[in-house]
Structure 1
Amino acid sequence: MSQSNEKNNKDKIRIVNKKNNLHDKSYKDLFSNKETFLSLIQTFVSNTWGSKLTKENLVLVDKSYVLSDYEELESDIVYKARIGDHEVFFYMLLEFQSYVDYRMPIRLLLYMIEIWREILKNTSEKEFKRKSFRLPAVVPIVVYNGEKNWTVARTLKEVISNSDIFGESILDFRYEFLDVNRFKKDELYENQNIASAIFLLDQSISRIEFYNRLKDIVIEFNKLTVEEKAQLKHWLVNVNSEENNYKENIEKIFSSNKREVEIMTSNISKGLEKLKEEGKIEGKAEGKAELLIKQLNKKFKLLPMEYEKKIKALPEKILDDIATDIFSLEEIDELKKYF
């Protein structure tokens, strides 16, 4: 690829991520709170070590280990804790792309090495040479909110050629994986904690369903503290939305009593239902799909009918991503990563 094309591709990536950066930052702010991180780990990560974590033994590391190659694609959060006599690092990568990235195990390996490199840089040579010296464990965690199924390898060995031949001689690890859109609604309702509330509201759902869930969270999630509800409100207010009066609606819902919230969310849903009936919600996405198909036909001369059908079924968010990426697409088969 020429330097000019490479530069253009990076520019396209930056354009795509301008829309997601605020969402990513708000998400990162949420899980940079110790209680929220603990809620996430102790609810959704099924490991015995999760129960040994407490607010007191967790320390947020004020440093990002994301490499320059990927800094436009992701955010990360790093905690360290002491479990017994040993220090452990939790490396959480927020993966908010519309497509899956098959490089994930390799990317995580690089980040883990960066953490260890930083530790060794700050360790005296005398300590490093001791027989008793041990590197701290680094637990990689990926939080993914894309709509496509995650078909990426979960272990490092799976992306190493002929790894089965060499057995334990090959480096390996398995990362914890949390797929926001694959958690069942009933399960999230049952937990009634802040991590579940975040996932309920961040799943790929209609605006009507969003307000129904928000109403239930505000009214029924009795385990949420005042501080946690304030966190949720701050996150939602700072997430981009093209919906009219969105921020005003969020502010009012969190500051109203039960009856007012029920009336307000009911009125919002009725308004959205009316727009749906008039075709003003679905029509917007359909119009984007038709325009995108015309652009792709112009670029690739002839778009296969099966691709047209798949494009028409895509959510608006992914249509926007393809439209932004269209100039960097060189082969028609590159569209498959969006389906």
Structure 2
Amino acid sequence: MSTDSNISQPHDRFLKELLSHPEQAATLLRERLPEAVVRFLSADPPESVPGSFVDRRLREHLSDRLFKVKTIDGRTAFLYVLIEHKSALDGKIGWQLLRYMVEILKQWEKENPDWKRLPAILPFVFYHGAAEWKIPDEFMALVDAEESWQPYLLNFRFPVLDLGKIPDPQLSGDRRLYVRLLAMKYATRSGQQLAIKELLIEALGNAPEELLPIMHYLVQTYTSYRKETLREIAQRVRPEEIDTMMSQFARDIIEGRDTEWRDIVRQEAMQQGMQQGMQQGMQQGMQQGMQQGMQQGKREGEAALLLRMLSRRFQTLPDHIPYRVYEADPNTIEIWADRVLDAKSLDEVFSE
């Protein structure tokens, strides 16, 4: 079994973060699993089992989440959620589920060598691709065999949650889960993203605590949203926190479209520094001090932004780096900032 550390797709990170909250995970599973399954689940929240069973070569469009649950009569079972993001479906999802369920059982057997009966594993497919899901929901559809043989062959069914088939108002009865599913539904439907802006703002207004993770997700996946649209959403949902949020984006440089957001925050840092410099100059009562303050504030704002970018990209920085950055002139800081996204090491950023 592999770990989660290499997951790179924003959809994977977003949904896995959602499912890491027991309350939201429990709500999603109870709302979307078959009633015949749900009525036997206990009231205890699902327990997340760390790790992933998906092949590395398939992680571009697949991720997974394994939960351990209790039934009302005390049995232990597993709910295996396979998350499919790809639009061009290959039809082999049943085979993938079988392989991953076998791996789950193999791991469970190592931990329970004296077992007498195996735990149940209920597979569940979460899909939010743009194309309609039309793949049969049972393993037998992949088997080339005589129909009369089917009672003697391995088979299982798996429920599929296709967000595209669910009307927006019915995505979830939970306000926080609803806005996340709404965002995921249209992340793969760029042609409809502008049309649901008002609906998204309304949903965020009902769950404002979800604004920051939703905004991060929109930046990475909503290709139809430009910086003005994203700023409008944040401004209308939490106007009092717009400056704090922009600072947060500076710390969490977003992959994929981070150059655009870097420029936004750089401009704000420059403006803030210039304003601080102007205040300092006015207090000194001298035009020269005002100009020097503006220049100093601009440089310090850019230096602070660069250090946040470096910390995000390379984690802990050597002690000498902040001193070097704050001593650099604005042109040099700009050159270093442009190198951050593509550099593989700090040496590449600061190379002469």
TM normalised by structure 2 equals 0.58
1:99 partner SS = coil
Q: Deviations over 1:115-155 (max 9, x none)?
A: 0010112222xx13xxxx11111111111112222221210
- State yes or no: 1:158 paired with 2:146: no
The separation in 2 between residues aligned to 1:242 and 1:185, in whole angstroms, is 19
Alignment correspondent of 2:101:
112
Q: How far has the Cα of 1:79 moved from its partner?
A: 0.8
- State yes or no: 1:135 paired with 2:124: no
The separation in 2 between residues aligned to 1:48 and 1:139, in whole angstroms, is 12
The separation in 2 between residues aligned to 1:123 and 1:39, in whole angstroms, is 30
- State yes or no: 1:214 paired with 2:200: yes
The separation in 2 between residues aligned to 1:86 and 1:66, in whole angstroms, is 26
TM normalised by structure 1 equals 0.60
2:104 partner SS = helix
Q: 1:179 aligns with which of 147, 157, 162?
A: 162
After superposition, the Cα gap between the structure-2 partners of 1:35 and 1:192, relative to the gap in structure 1 and judged at 3 Å, is closer
2:56 partner SS = coil
1:100 partner SS = coil
Q: How far has the Cα of 1:97 moved from its partner?
A: 0.7
The separation in 2 between residues aligned to 1:31 and 1:93, in whole angstroms, is 12
Pairs within 5 Å for 1:67-106:
67-83=55-71, 84-106=73-95
* Number of residue pairs the alignment of both structures matches: 228
- State yes or no: 1:26 paired with 2:24: no
Q: Contact 2:97 / 2:123 at 8 angstroms: preserved in 1?
A: yes
After superposition, the Cα gap between the structure-2 partners of 1:212 and 1:65, relative to the gap in structure 1 and judged at 3 Å, is same
2:9 partner SS = helix
Q: Contact 1:30 / 1:231 at 8 angstroms: preserved in 2?
A: no
Pairs within 5 Å for 1:223-262:
224=207, 227=209, 232-233=214-215, 235-236=217-218, 239=221, 241=223, 243-245=225-227, 246-256=229-239
Alignment correspondent of 1:193:
175
Q: Mean Cα displacement is larger for which, 86-95 or 241-250?
A: 241-250
Q: How far has the Cα of 1:54 moved from its partner?
A: 6.1
1:92 partner SS = strand
- State yes or no: 1:147 paired with 2:135: no
1:214 is aligned with what amino acid? Answer: L
Percent identity reads: 22
Q: Contact 1:98 / 1:146 at 8 angstroms: preserved in 2?
A: yes
Alignment correspondent of 2:329:
none
Q: Which structure's CA Rg is the greater one?
A: 2
Q: Contact 1:155 / 1:175 at 8 angstroms: preserved in 2?
A: yes
The separation in 2 between residues aligned to 1:36 and 1:238, in whole angstroms, is 22
Q: Deviations over 1:219-256 (max 9, x none)?
A: 4x4xx5x6556654554455464632254344333314
The separation in 2 between residues aligned to 1:102 and 1:227, in whole angstroms, is 38
Gaps of 5+ in 1: 1-17, 258-339
Q: Contact 1:36 / 1:195 at 8 angstroms: preserved in 2?
A: yes
The separation in 1 between residues aligned to 2:98 and 2:35, in whole angstroms, is 21
The separation in 1 between residues aligned to 2:171 and 2:111, in whole angstroms, is 41
2:10 is aligned with what amino acid? Answer: L
Q: How far has the Cα of 1:196 moved from its partner?
A: 3.0
Q: How far has the Cα of 1:176 moved from its partner?
A: 1.2
Q: Deviations over 1:307-338 (max 9, x none)?
A: xxxxxxxxxxxxxxxxxxxxxxxxxxxxxxxx
The separation in 1 between residues aligned to 2:39 and 2:13, in whole angstroms, is 27
After superposition, the Cα gap between the structure-2 partners of 1:238 and 1:63, relative to the gap in structure 1 and judged at 3 Å, is same
Q: How far has the Cα of 1:45 moved from its partner?
A: 2.4
Q: Deviations over 1:60-98 (max 9, x none)?
A: 111101123423331111111111221111111111112
2:192 is aligned with what amino acid? Answer: S
After superposition, the Cα gap between the structure-2 partners of 1:146 and 1:239, relative to the gap in structure 1 and judged at 3 Å, is closer
Higher relative contact order structure (alpha carbons within 8 Å, sequence separation ≥ 6) = 1
Q: How far has the Cα of 1:41 moved from its partner?
A: 1.6
Q: How far has the Cα of 1:193 moved from its partner?
A: 3.2
1:91 partner SS = strand
